[in-house]
Chains A and B, each alone.
Chain A
Amino acid sequence: MAVPVSNRSACWSAPEVYKHHEQQRVCISRPKYREGRKAKAVKVYTINLESRYLMVQGVPAIGVMTELIQLCALYGVVEEYRPLDEYPAEEFTEVYLVKFQKLTSARAAKRNMDEKSFYGGVLHVCYVPEYETVEDTRLKLQDRRSYIARAARSRAKQREKTEAAQESSVSSEAPTSSDKIPASRDVTSKIESTGEALSLSHYSEFPPLPLPPREQCSFRQKSHRRLVPTEDKMGTLHNAFFNVEQWQADSLSSNPTTSNRKQGTEGRLGPNPGSGVRFIPRNTNLESRKRKVEESGEPAANVSGENEPLIGPKLPEPAKLDMEDESLNTTVGLIRSTMKQVGSVPDLKRVEKKAKPRRRI
C-alpha cells in the first residue's frame, strides 16, 4: 500500500512509453456516410484517455520552448511545463510535457496543435493521463460527471420550454444549427478542420500572436460562415472573412474582363465599368473556376458567374447605380450592351480572319 503514496512524488519522474501515445493507423474502410472530415483510427474515447496533461512530441530542437508554451497558452492557462529529456524522441526533436489548468484547455490545444507544423517540425500532441495524481484523476471524473448532469438538467429544461412553446403554437428558435448536424464527431471534426485553417494561417509562418482562447461555439459559428473559402484557395489560405468577399468580387467582376481580353483588340475598346480590380492572371482564374466547379459538382452555373452560390452578404450589383444621372446611366447601359454583343460575336469573326491568311499562303 505504499505505492499510492509515493505516487505523488513520482508524478514528474522518468516517463515510460505507453501504447496510447502512439498514433494508430487511420481507418480507410469506412463507408461514405460514416466518414468524418478527418481520417481517424478506430478508437473509443473515454474520460480515462483525456487529461489536462499533454505531451507534445516532434518539437524541433532549436530552442523554441518559449514559442511552444506561448502557442499552448492560446488555449488556456498553462500551469506547468517541462521538457521530457528522458522520453525517446526522434532525431533533432524534443518532447515536452504541458500541464493545463483545465481539461477543456488541454482538449482545445490538442485539437488545434496536433499534426500541425511548428518551426519546420510536425507536432504530435497526445494526452498523458499517467502523469495525473490520484487527486487529478478524481477531479477529472467529478468534473465530467457534473458536466453531464448539468447537460441533462438543461436538456430537461429546454424540453419543457419547447413543449411550452409548442403549446402556444409559436415556433421556437432555440435548437437550430447545432442540432441539425447529425453527429457530434462531425461537429468536432468540423471544428478541427476550420481550426486547422485558422491555426495554420496564424502560426505556420509568423510567431504566434496572442489571440484570446476560443470557445467551441465561436468556432462553430466561424465554421459556418467560412465554410467554403478555406478550401478553394489557390494554395494560400485567406484567413479573414473580408478576403472572401474581395475574392468573390474579383471572380465575379473579372469574368467579363477576361472574356474580353480573350478576344484581343475589341476587348481593349473600353475599360469595363465597375471593375476596380486587381489583375488576376487568366490561368489562375480559370483554374480556380474549374476547381470550384469540381467541388460544387454543378457545372455551368459558375461559368456565368451570376448563379454562383453566394457565401456571406451579397455584394451590390457592380456599378449600376454609380452614375447618379439618368443620361449617364443610359450611356453606361448602352456601352455594356454593345460590349456584350461585341463579346459574343467576335469568336466567329476571328475564325474567319484566321482563315484568310492561310489562303494567301
Chain B
Amino acid sequence: MSSTEAPERFEYLQSLVTEFQDTDSEEAKEQVLANLANFAYDPKNLEYLRELQVPDLFLDMLTEENENFVEFGMGGLCNLSMDPDCREVILQSGGISLVTNCLSNRREETVLSAVTTLMNLATPATRSQISEPGILQCMLRFSLAESPRLRNLAAVFLQDCCSEEQVRQAQQQMEGRQTAVGIPLPKE
C-alpha cells in the first residue's frame, strides 16, 4: 500500500539500506547510516523505514565497535522512537537493554540520544523496566554533570519517568553502593 503511494521515496530508502548491507567500505556505511538516521527525523519516512526494518538495523549498530556506528544508530533510534509504532518495534526487539548500555558511552551525543530514547520508550507497560534503580542512579549522576544538556535531560527523565519515591530510593542505594551503568568506559 505504501509503495504505491510514494514508490520513489520507498525505493530510495531501500537503495540506501541495500548499499549499507552490500558495501565493504566503513566510510560509506557511516554515511548511509547517518542518512538513514536523518531520514528517521521526518515522519513521512517512518512507515517505510519500519517496512525496511531499519529499527533493527539501528539496534544492531549499538553493539558495534566503531563509535560512529553507535552514535548514528543511537541518533536514528532517538528519532524513530518518537513514533508510537516504531516504539513498539524497538521494544519488541529488546531495545531497552541495548539502549541502556549506551548510557555508558564516552560520547555525549550518544548518551543524550540514549536518554531521550529511553524516555520515548517509557509506556505504562515498560515503566518498571525503565525506572529500574540502575538507570535512575545513572540519571542522578547525569543530573550533576557539567554539561547543561545532559544535566537537563537527566532532570527531565527523573521528573517525568519515575516517581519521587523511586528517586529517593535510588539515592539511598547510591550512597551504599555504586553501579557501573553510566560510567564512561576507559579510553584505549
Task: Give A residues with C-beta under 8 Å from B.
Answer: 1, 3-4, 7, 10, 18-20, 27, 29-31, 33-34, 42-49, 129-134, 136-138, 141, 144-145, 147-149, 151-152, 155, 159, 162-163, 175, 178-185
How far apart sit A133 and B116, CA to CA, in the bound complex (Å)?
A: 16
Contact indicator B47/A155 (Cβ below 8 Å): yes
Cβ of B175 within 8 Å of any chain A Cβ, yes or no, is no
Which single member of B82, B149, B151 contacts A148 (CB below 8 Å)? B82
Top-7 shortest CB links A-B: A44-B75, A151-B43, A184-B42, A182-B12, A179-B6, A130-B148, A148-B82
How many A-B pairs have beta carbons closer than 8 Å: the answer is 142
Cβ of B135 within 8 Å of any chain A Cβ, yes or no, is no
Contact indicator A48/B31 (Cβ below 8 Å): no
Beta-carbon nearest neighbor of A20 in chain B: B109
Contact indicator B9/A7 (Cβ below 8 Å): no
How far apart sit A132 and B149, CA to CA, in the bound complex (Å)?
A: 8
Contact indicator A145/B82 (Cβ below 8 Å): yes
- The 8 A CB mask of B127-149 against A (1 = contact, 0 = none) is 00000000000000001100111
Beta-carbon nearest neighbor of A174 in chain B: B5
Contact indicator A46/B6 (Cβ below 8 Å): no
Contact indicator B156/A134 (Cβ below 8 Å): yes
- Beyond contacts A141-B116, A181-B8, A183-B9: 14 other A-B pairs, Cβ-Cβ < 8 A, are A10-B148, A29-B31, A30-B31, A33-B15, A42-B30, A44-B75, A133-B152, A137-B155, A145-B120, A148-B46, A155-B43, A163-B1, A182-B8, A183-B39
Give the chain A neighbours of B144 by CB distance below 8 A: 1, 3
Cβ of B184 within 8 Å of any chain A Cβ, yes or no, is no
How far apart sit A251 and B30, CA to CA, in the bound complex (Å)?
A: 46
Contact indicator A137/B156 (Cβ below 8 Å): yes
- B interface, how many residues as a size bin? 35 or more
Contact indicator B31/A42 (Cβ below 8 Å): yes
CB distance from B125 to the nearest CB of A (A): 17
Cβ of B22 within 8 Å of any chain A Cβ, yes or no, is no
How far apart sit A30 and B27, CA to CA, in the bound complex (Å)?
A: 9
Give the chain A neighbours of B159 by CB distance below 8 A: 134, 138
CB distance from A50 to the nearest CB of B (A): 10
Beta-carbon nearest neighbor of B145 in chain A: A3
Cβ of B119 within 8 Å of any chain A Cβ, yes or no, is yes
Which single member of B27, B37, B143 contacts A44 (CB below 8 Å)? B37
Known: A4-B151, A133-B152, A137-B156. A185 touches B39 (CB 8 A): yes
How far apart sit A136 and B153, CA to CA, in the bound complex (Å)?
A: 10
Q: Which among B6, B16, B41, B42 has the highest number of chain A CB atoms within 10 Å? A: B41
How far apart sit A33 and B72, CA to CA, in the bound complex (Å)?
A: 20
Give the chain B neighbours of A27 by CB distance below 8 A: 31
CB distance from B68 to the nearest CB of A (A): 8
Give the chain B neighbours of A183 by CB distance below 8 A: 9, 12, 39
Beta-carbon nearest neighbor of B156 in chain A: A138
Contact indicator A7/B148 (Cβ below 8 Å): yes
Give the chain B neighbours of A46 by CB distance below 8 A: 41, 75, 78-79, 112-113, 116
Beta-carbon nearest neighbor of A178 in chain B: B44
How far apart sit A149 and B81, CA to CA, in the bound complex (Å)?
A: 11
Contact indicator B38/A4 (Cβ below 8 Å): no
Cβ of B34 within 8 Å of any chain A Cβ, yes or no, is yes
Give the chain A neighbours of B42 by CB distance below 8 A: 184
Beta-carbon nearest neighbor of A158 in chain B: B5
